[in-house]
Structure 1
Amino acid sequence: MERKLLFIALFFAVFFAGCSTEDVNNFTSKPVNVEKPDTTIPNDENDDPIVIVDPIIENIVVAHRGAWKKNKLPHNSIASLKEAIRLKCKGSEFDICISADDSLIVSHDPYYNNLLISTSKYSELATLKLSNGEILPTLRDYVKTTKSNTSTTLLYCELKTDKLPAARKKVFVEKTNKLIKELEAENIITISSFDYYILKLMREANPLIDLQYLNGDVSPEQLKSDKITGACYNISVFKNHNDWIESARLNNISLSVWTLNDSESIKWAMNNKFNALVTDEPELAIDLAKQ
């Protein structure tokens, strides 16, 4: 029996002599905080830990026509969208028009290089590139780029209806809704417009998608009645109708404000707990949010 015990003692002495301090420490268990679990995931020993936060809650910055200004990128370009994604903005705002062949063109203005989009085919428009050499993007391009590059930055898509008759507005809604469903993008896109009629058409076509009205002449109570889920108004509207801020919250209407490019206005929106602020200065807004 004594020989057996001596053999066991010698075995453990040799085993632990060959172990490093790190190996020995690995045998000790660490207490697990069940009530407050770890909130960081290290990638590897050379990377900073990734802090798990909800960027949609922490970040209310929406880049107006993408993050274009600092790097002199074209408005409403894939490059400005990617820069908004790189900055980890809550969203990237852009505009779409419908062409003569029912293509959904990313453009703020009804004209592109002197061609009226609503009476031109995409094949004609696409021959004229953006200033950075990009081909004129489409809604499909924007959705696919977003889905392949981020899981947090959202799309804020404004439907432009200038010079469109009612019949074409219906086609516009039909084509937009069809593409969003095809690309399974309902959870990453909000549709907005100054045209109340087209938002009501979109709600009839899609009962789930987020909708924002931009013009500022409809109360939160009326928006709720018409099933429009958000008010995205100019800051002057909310300052003149301060009661609409509280009314929107009571009626479960999301609050967004445009277009804030100075520190005072940006801080005002943050202090009033808006869900989103639209800005041409996303870098400034992000810096202010960190203060």
Structure 2
Amino acid sequence: MRTIQLHLLLLGWLLALSCARPVEKPKVIAHRGYWQCEGSAQNSIASLVKAHEIGCYGSEFDVHLTADDVPVVCHEVEIRKGVFIPQVPYDSIKDIRLPNGETLPTLDQYLEKGKELEGLQLIYELKTDAAPERNRQAARVAVETVRKHGMEKRVEFITFNLEAAKELRRLAPDMPVYYLSGDLIPLQVKEFGFTGINYYYKVMLERPEWFEEAHALGLKTNVWTVDDAEEIREIARLGTDFLSTDIPEEAMAIIADL
């Protein structure tokens, strides 16, 4: 009953706010860094630096936890054929080379470089495991490492795993936590205490009212991963706060012209 009453109240707010809230241009986040350029690669230190150089709001990166609890920056869980990051110690994968020649970066290395890049937010995707306890440990390591580097105001957490998101919120109530899976309405996201929704752009195109619902609840909105020029324009016009893309330089130019 309480949820229904809150939802009805929300609809009333929306009626009042729909015409009052100006649509601001979204800020651009480089998905896995700015990697589609010379000398870069996905989730590389170079991609982080290049995202800063072109003036992105943020640079997204993925973090897996090794079997011996070393957080490493990599999207794929299977880093080589038959080699899964959560199942092996760090020493067995530390010398793996990225396509641009860098070695696999640790979270410590990534945050140290990010600290030098003033004005750039680091969008930390917590990758999860099948075992709930490992997910809780990944969240603990994430928060501890960010705090060790004094990057609490520069790092924003995102994750597909609801339990991991709840653990991040519990451990870091002072830091942004966004939910990625797209299976919760904005009201549920608010009730969990998360900062906002960060949903696949096609989910949001099917539910455009979620932008206004989220904003009426004080939530932020982000979408991933939008790489088509016309869809970037459409999403921007719907009022998202942030937009994650593999073409950040082009996306910023498109948004600037709106």
Same fold (TM over 0.5): yes
The share of aligned pairs that are identical, in percent, is 31
2:123 pairs with 1:156: yes
Q: Deviations over 1:209-256 (max 9, x none)?
A: 101111111011111110011101112211222221111001111010
Identify the match of residue 213 of structure 1 among 162, 167, 179. 179
Provide the residue aligned with 1:138 in structure 2: 106
If asked which structure has higher relative contact order (CA below 8 Å, sep 6+), I would say 2
Q: TM-score normalised to the size of structure 1? A: 0.77
Contact 1:157–1:190 (CA<8 Å) still a contact in 2?
Answer: yes
Following the alignment from structure 1 to structure 2, what is the Cα–Cα distance between the partners of residues 66 and 247?
A: 30
Q: Which residue of 2 aligns with 1:14?
A: none
- Report the counterpart of residue 109 of structure 1 in structure 2: 76
Amino acid at match of 1:195: N
Q: Is 1:122 matched up with 2:109?
A: no
SS in structure 1 of the partner of residue 239 of structure 2? coil
Is the contact between residue 66 and residue 87 of structure 2 (CA under 8 Å) also seen in structure 1? yes
| Contact kept? 1:59, 1:90, Cα under 8 Å | no
Name which of 69, 73, 78 aligns with 2:45: 78
Q: 4+ runs of 1 displaced by more than 3 Å?
A: none
How far apart in 1 are the matches of 2:153 and 2:225? Answer: 24
Which consecutive unaligned segments of at least 5 residues does structure 2 have?
1-23
SS at match of 1:76: coil
Larger Rg: 1
Match of 1:180 in 2: 146
How far the C-alpha of 1:153 sits from its partner, in A, is: 1.1
Shift of 1:58: 7.0
The question of 1:227 aligning with 2:218 is answered no
Per-residue CA deviations over 1:197-217 (Å, capped at 9, x if unaligned) read 100011111111101111111
Give the stretch that moved more between structures: 80-89 or 238-247.
238-247
Q: Aligned AA for 2:229?
A: S
CA distance in 1, matches of 2:132, 2:224: 27
Contact 2:158–2:165 (CA<8 Å) still a contact in 1? yes
Instruction: Within 5 Å, give how 1:1-291 maps onto structure 2.
Output: 60-71=27-38, 73-114=40-81, 115-148=83-116, 150-161=117-128, 163-291=129-257
Query: CA–CA distance in 2 between the matches of 1:193 and 1:151?
Result: 24
Q: Which runs of 5+ in 1 are unaligned?
A: 1-56
**TM-score scaled by length of structure 2:** 0.86
Distance 2:68 2:248 in 1: 35
1:89-124 Cα distance to aligned partner (Å, 9 max, x none)? 011011000001100010111111232111111111
Conservation of the 8 A alpha-carbon contact between 1:78 and 1:137: yes
Contact 1:192 1:211 in 2 (8 A): yes
Cα distance in 1, alignment partners of residues 244 and 142 from structure 2: 22
Cα offset, 1:73, TM superposition: 2.5
CA contact (8 A) 2:211 2:239 kept: no
Asked if the contact 1:63–1:93 (Cα under 8 Å) also holds between the matched residues in 2, the reply is: yes
Cα distance in 1 for residues equivalent to 2:217 and 2:25: 23
Q: What is the alpha-carbon root mean square deviation over aligned residues?
A: 1.5
What is the CA–CA distance in structure 2 between the aligned matches of 1:213 and 1:71, rounded to whole Å? 32
